[in-house]
Structure 1
Amino acid sequence: MAWIILFLAGLLEIGWAIGLKYTDGFTRLTPTVLTATSMVASVVLLGIAVRTLPLGTAYAVWTGVGMVGTVILGIVLFAEPATAMRLGCISLIIAGIAGLKLTA
C-alpha cells in the first residue's frame, strides 16, 4: 500500500510542477490554489509513505516519478524538445526507480 501512496504522491508532484506554468507567476487564482493544494497533498502522501518505506528510497522514487512525468508532459503540452538525449535520460531515471523498488 505504501508504494501506491508513494506513486500517487509522485503524480501529485507532476500536477503541481505543471501547475506552476499555469499560475502565471502566482497571478491567476484558480491555478495557484490547485497548484498549492497539489503541493501539500503530495508532501502529505510522501510523509505517509515514509512511515513504511525507507526515506532515501521513497524520496528518490517520489522525485523520479515527478521528474519523468513533468518532462513527458512538458514535451506533450508545451512542445519542449524530445531529443534522443532527453529520452535516454528519462529511461535512466525510470531504470533507477525500478532498481530502488526492487531493492526496497
Structure 2
Amino acid sequence: MAWWILLAAGLLEVVWAVGLKYTEGFTRFWPSCLTAVALAGSMYLLSVAVRDLPIGTAYAVWVGIGAAGTAILGMAVLNEPVTPLRLFFMVLLGVAILGLKLSAVAT
C-alpha cells in the first residue's frame, strides 16, 4: 500500500510543479490555490509512505516520478522540445526509479 501512496504523492508533485507555470508567480488566484493544495497533498502522502518505506528510496522515487512526469507534461502540453537525447534520459530516469523500487523490495 505504501508504494501506491508514494505513487499518488509523486503524481501530485507533477500537478504542483506544472501548476507553478500557471500561477504566474502566484499572481493568479485559482492556479495558485490548486498548486498549493497539490503541494500540501504531495508532502502529506510522502510522509505517510515513509512510515513503511526507507526514506532514501521513497524520496528518490518521489522526486523521480515528479521529474519524469513534469518533463513529460512539459513536452506534451507546454510545447517543450522533444529530442532523442531528452527521451533517452527519460528512459534512464524510469529505469532508475524502477531499480530503486525493486532494490527496496529485495532488502
TM range (shorter): over 0.9
Q: How far apart are 1:101 and its partner, in Å?
A: 0.8
How many pairs does the alignment contain? 104
TM-score under structure 1 normalisation?
0.99
1:52 aligns with 2:52: yes
Matching residue of 1:35:
35
Kindly report which structure 2 residues correspond to 1:16-35, keeping only aligned pairs within 5 A, or say none. 16-35=16-35
CA distance in 2, matches of 1:103, 1:79: 35
Q: Give the Cα–Cα distance (whole angstroms) in 2 for the partners of residues 42 and 49 of structure 1.
A: 11
Shift of 1:88: 0.6
Q: Which runs of 5+ in 1 are unaligned?
A: none
| Seq. identity, % | 57
Matches within 5 A, 1:1-104: 1-104=1-104
Runs of 4+, deviation exceeding 2 Å = none
Q: Give the structure-2-normalised TM-score.
A: 0.96
Aligned-pair distance for 1:90?
A: 0.6
Q: Can you give the 5+ residue segments of structure 2 that lack an aligned partner in the other structure?
A: none
Whole-Å separation in 2 of the counterparts to 1:89 and 1:6: 22
Letter in 1 for 2:48: I
User: Shift of the alpha carbon at 1:58?
Assistant: 0.1
RMSD: 0.4
